Structure 1
């Protein structure tokens, strides 16, 4: 490292500030800062929609034609027009990142944010890392361009071992790219579970965006089997999405109108409260027809943090959260197996409590932000040691994250920071 003892300076390159369902990014940044690193967040996308992005691309071509076209060549012509947009974003952010004096650049999601970060790193001679999640590459139909982006990284982080396998299936030569697992951290409070009245109706809860990959239709069919078997059950579904009406019709056709309640999109506070006193958190994930698949759903972590037993499917990275006995895992698209697992939980509540306790401990030990920060900083430290940089070209960081010079301020006030993870609106998407 070029300045022994100086805190590592980490530039997060994000497409936009973390959304309602991306609090894992916020918690990661806070944990990295708490571990002693100096962190600044650089947001690529400005307000103004597609029109603003088009103007940005045209401006980059006019002001920096050689660099912009060179960026396109680096990312590959098959990646047009995203390569043009990435080059335009990178041209705007390279100056502020350089003035910050970053030791390493880090991006979340291996689509456009990684393309931007890779170009910024190339133009500022700074190592670049990125985190692969799930939909960011599973829905990418351009395998060669994906592989090309990943090869520009100094190190690739994946949220699960399953994600590394899935990347290889999408055409990335993962075996030739340095990579390691860093979890999408859970930063919520882990609380003691609350008891429920004995002999009352069994309460099942799902909090999710209502899309195909969540498998809520399978859960409805399993609940119908329980009702036909005479088991008193209530199923609360929190979240909204494009297939909500289809699911509501399915519940009606299965005579579940008095059993199932669709609550719609709710705040995090309401979703969290929904788990209190629940008998089971149900999420029978599957691979959607378009290839989309969950990584490790935050809803399952939220349930684990409150001691609620989980019944889910053994797909993607879910087994890496649940382990061998942290809950019930069944095959996807199998309502009979799902109903059988729920029967086991209902008839053996002590086993549900035991498994929930195991899952809470695993959440605390393997998915803590502190552990993820330590994993990140270990890799970043090695990268910086291998690629020392002179401080001669570094100047004080005086730009805001959008690259524009700030208004005159008290010099002692320090640089303006992008607020990360601000208070979201009360109504938003459900956990992913």
Structure 2
């Protein structure tokens, strides 16, 4: 256990190495290291599925009673994945103990949290986890979710909306210590000049091509804009199961000369694509299976580069955009989406003003350094019981209202927010 004054040692327990759509994990780790913690990453799933199966069978045969204890801890209703979590914990416990961490931390409150909690039980090290969205929204076993979260010493949620969604799914948050820590973006905030009038407006989306991202709605809106004579280009970066369907939709809408699908690209390429963008578009919605975004990192990275944002008021997105940081339209509404883009094209100064407000909000409430300090404040108290580190957010609050914390961070931002809020009183789509 860390002594006062020592840097914390944090073991990140991940199911696999972060994918190209999970840059928030690597950004968070970099931020935690930057504020002085020692971080080691431990990946549960290594090798093929056949190797994983052999590992599970071996763990059960070698330690049947320990496996049974793990299953009981996670709940019999979680049986197959509890056995899997037990096997992963058995393999990771030794290397993690050798690292001698002060705290274990996982992202996603499904299998990675189960593994981290079991390793914590084996090693006596406090465990925490970060809840996002799909990691629990697609989980129909509310009792197992609640049981899993109760094994943690602290739960982090990326938004107030996430806390509400967890409660709806059956988690008893009143009995689980928790608080808001935002998902991290790459941290760079760039001052941007207003776009030139008369140019073709370049719309950009960076996302996995899945239902919840609403890219089909964006294509329909782009078709409306082109029919109305608004010169636009739409660049889509990302891949996914709906790519072929979306490409066919673009062709059917006669958008082949307007829309470009770039496929999966590196984070560097995706962020460079924002340099010449005029509008960041992401019309998120709830998918038919219940999947939903939390607060998309793409919107944060667009905001950090001064790109005006057109999105939807779903899940935690309003906590990022605030009352005046961009345009929020209803999901599945290409008319409203096209109208918002057209407003931005016709009033570029307004787009720049809202982008400045959003950049200020990002700096004050969503900066990676702030999230790292919030994490370390909790981890420090867990590693050093009885310490009096300052609260990173109100005690016991999963829904501390920080949405207006950027009011005075940049000249004119507070006045801009009031002006936009007043102006939108009868027209805002939220």
Q: How many Å separate the matches in 2 of 1:338 and 1:79?
A: 42
Map 1:51-200 to 2 at 5 A: 51-193=50-192, 196-200=195-199
- Does the 8 Å contact 2:186/2:301 carry over to 1? no
Query: 1:387 Cα deviation (Å)?
Result: 8.1
Higher relative contact order (CA 8 A, sep 6+): 1
Write out per-residue CA displacement over residues 196-236 of structure 1, whole angstroms, 9 at most, x where no aligned residue.
44312222111211111111111111122222222222222
Map 1:21-420 to 2 at 5 A: 21-47=21-47, 49-193=48-192, 196-386=195-385
Change (3 A) 1:10 1:264: closer
Q: How many Å separate the matches in 1 of 2:254 and 2:37?
A: 56
Query: 1:100 Cα deviation (Å)?
Result: 2.5
Query: 1:376 Cα deviation (Å)?
Result: 0.8
The count of corresponding residues between Structure 1 and Structure 2 is: 387
In the other structure, the counterpart of 1:418 is none
Write out per-residue CA displacement over residues 257-279 of structure 1, whole angstroms, 9 at most, x where no aligned residue.
32222222223333223222322
Change (3 A) 1:109 1:224: same
- Does the 8 Å contact 2:2/2:8 carry over to 1? no
| 3-state SS of paired residue (1:81) | helix
In the other structure, the counterpart of 2:3 is 3
In the other structure, the counterpart of 1:400 is none
In the other structure, the counterpart of 2:416 is none
Write out per-residue CA displacement over residues 231-256 of structure 1, whole angstroms, 9 at most, x where no aligned residue.
22222222222112222222222232
Q: How many Å separate the matches in 2 of 1:33 and 1:235?
A: 37
Q: How many Å separate the matches in 1 of 2:109 and 2:241?
A: 25
| 3-state SS of paired residue (1:80) | helix
Q: TM-score when scaled to structure 2?
A: 0.86
- Does the 8 Å contact 2:23/2:267 carry over to 1? no
Q: How many Å separate the matches in 2 of 1:2 and 1:260?
A: 54
Write out per-residue CA displacement over residues 44-78 of structure 1, whole angstroms, 9 at most, x where no aligned residue.
1221x211111111111122221111111111111
Query: 1:328 Cα deviation (Å)?
Result: 0.4
Q: TM-score when scaled to structure 1?
A: 0.85
Change (3 A) 1:217 1:44: same
Unaligned runs of 5+ in 2: 388-430
| 3-state SS of paired residue (1:360) | helix
Q: How many Å separate the matches in 1 of 2:318 and 2:150?
A: 28
Write out per-residue CA displacement over residues 376-412 of structure 1, whole angstroms, 9 at most, x where no aligned residue.
1111122223389xxxxxxxxxxxxxxxxxxxxxxxx
